[in-house]
Amino acid sequence: MNAPFNSRTSTRHPFAAYVCDDVSAELLKPLVFELGWPPESVNRGGLRGAIQALSVSASPTILFVDLADTADPLNDVSALAEVCEPGTVVIAAGTVNDVRLYRELLNSGIQDYLLKPFTADQVRDSLAQAQMMLMGARPIDPADDHIHLMTAVIGVRGGIGASSIAASLAWLMGENGGHRTALLDLDVHFGTGALALDLEPGRGLTDAIDNPSRIDGLFLERALVRANDKLSVLSAEAPINAPILTDGAAYFQLQEEMKSAFECTVVDVPRHMMVQHPHLFHDVQSIVLVVDLTLAATRDTIRILAWLRNNAPQAGILIVANRIHPSLTEIGRKDFESSIERPIDFVLPYDLKQVVNAAKLGKSIAEAAKTAKIGQTLAQISRKLLQLVADDPASEGSHKASLLDELLTVFKSKSKIARK
């Protein structure tokens, strides 16, 4: 026994289930068999049975556990975490239909929660997802060239609403676009990505920065905080008594892993990060540049556009003017556009009422103000971005090319003018 870790993992089974009733057991057995696992891996005993079994034997790679017979699921799940080896993907089922419990279970590292009675299809989906997670969340069909849209959102000035827009776009890509989406908030000390969605940021991002070599699909699964079914968030509130020491390797690694684990990634990039970590932009397909109609924004939009031409020539750029009040702008729209030598693509109104309401509800502006002008314009922006990776086979190629071309043509023709 000189290699305790190896000896344990070598006896690790791919799957085990601990359910509370015969109906669940009978439903699971054929599904488990379909996946090539022995039907005997479906046991009775529920959560207590799982804790007993795992305290004396190796944990399976995927664990299905029925919480129906526990009165305090959260507490008992943490007892399970103590005996369960890292790397196990846990799927829970239970009779409590409460979104708070659901969220807390996901936050505690549970991969999925199925409400009982569950159907065969629900279990199949959940097991497929667990397997995807274990494979770094790549889609099962290797021929299916999994889409990925990486969008960076940058505010040309602080306080301009870039983080609000990033959270909104991420929510929309998940909710309206139906894509598995991650929001990566790189404002490590003062991030608002989690706050905007009423979540605790957790330690994921700071852990990632401290140990870039540990970042893999599994790490992501544990580090990300789930906002809903489609949206996960990696954000931080790092202590403000110490600087972040990093060469940026962690950011790069996070982007790489997110590319394979998600369909859309929205990166909220504080503008000072551009200066320090230009490689963050090497792989993004689209950039949302948030501006306002002020003198300072005009100057910095010109400078940032020039910088992007050199550092992200592959990316399509959308200029979004935010917090715009018709009578309260320093500079007229036309003057702004002629100074930056390209049009503003979208204008979001200054709308304190909707913003305050969103903050009260703990939702993104896009969700809370769905029917207001601001919400509808945000939805248009996300649709425009998603056209970049439109997965409708009929539009494959032509559609993709046309939008990217459109965005790039505007950008390049302007860059020629600017270079003259």
Task: Give SS3 for 240.
Answer: coil
Query: Shortest gap between Cβ of 173 and ligand ADP (angstroms)?
Result: 17
Query: Shortest gap between Cβ of 6 and ligand ADP (angstroms)?
Result: 47
Compute the distance between CA of residue 194 and CA of residue 370 in angstroms, rounded to an integer: 20
Which CB atom, from 155 or from 177, has the smaller least distance to ligand ADP?
155
Tell which residue, 253, 250, 260, 315, has the closest CA to residue 282: 315
Which CB atom, from 124 or from 325, has the smaller least distance to ligand ADP?
325
Compute the distance between CA of residue 299 and CA of residue 190 in angstroms, rounded to an integer: 25
Which CB atom, from 109 or from 201, has the smaller least distance to Mg ion?
201
Which CB atom, from 23 or from 352, has the smaller least distance to ligand ADP?
352
Which CB atom, from 12 or from 333, has the smaller least distance to ligand ADP?
333
Residues 133-192 within binding reach of ligand ADP (CB under 6 A): 155, 158-164, 192
Compute the distance between CA of residue 200 and CA of residue 6 in angstroms, rounded to an integer: 35
Partner from ligand ADP, Mg ion, none contacting 191, C-beta within 5 to 8 A by type: none
Stretch that binds ligand ADP, among 93-101, 215-223, 296-304, 346-354 (CB under 6 A): 346-354
Task: Give SS3 for 287.
Answer: strand
> Which residues here bind Mg ion, judged by CB under 5 A?
163
Q: Is 120 in the site for ligand ADP (CB under 6 A)?
A: no
The only residue of 352, 361, 401, 417 in contact with ligand ADP, by rule CB under 6 A: 352
Show the binding pattern over residues 285-324: x = contacts ligand ADP (CB under 6 A), - = does not: -------------------------------------xx-
Q: Is 109 in the site for ligand ADP (CB under 6 A)?
A: no
What angle in degrees, to the nearest 10, is found between the helix axes of 22-34 and 120-134? 50
Partner from ligand ADP, Mg ion, none contacting 46, C-beta within 5 to 8 A by type: none
Partner from ligand ADP, Mg ion, none contacting 197, C-beta within 5 to 8 A by type: none
Count of residues touching ligand ADP (by CB under 6 A): 17
Phi and psi for 267 in degrees, rounded to 5? -110, 120
Partner from Mg ion, ligand ADP, none contacting 253, C-beta within 5 to 8 A by type: none
**Residues with Cβ within 8 Å of residue 142, at least 6 apart in sequence:** none
In this structure, what token pair is assigned to residue 419? 């270079």
Pairing mode of beta strands 15-19, 62-66: parallel
**Angle made by CA atoms 165, 250, 59, in degrees to the nearest 5:** 105
Query: Shortest gap between Cβ of 162 and Mg ion (angstroms)?
Result: 5
Question: Which pairs from 249-254 meet CB under 8 Å and 24+ separation?
Answer: 249/212, 250/208, 250/209, 250/210, 250/211, 250/212, 250/215, 251/186, 251/209, 251/277, 251/280, 252/212, 252/279, 252/280, 253/208, 253/212, 253/213, 253/215, 254/184, 254/208, 254/215, 254/220
Stretch that binds ligand ADP, among 277-285, 312-320, 344-352, 381-389 (CB under 6 A): 344-352
The only residue of 350, 372, 408, 414 in contact with ligand ADP, by rule CB under 6 A: 350
Query: Shortest gap between Cβ of 156 and Mg ion (angstroms)?
Result: 12
Query: Shortest gap between Cβ of 177 and Mg ion (angstroms)?
Result: 23
Element (H, E) at 43: strand 42-44
The only residue of 74, 249, 355, 418 in contact with ligand ADP, by rule CB under 6 A: 355
Tokens 């809370």: give the residue. 368
Compute the distance between CA of residue 153 and CA of residue 366 in angstroms, rounded to an integer: 15
Binding footprint of ligand ADP on the chain (CB under 6 A): 155, 158-164, 192, 322-323, 348, 350-352, 355, 374
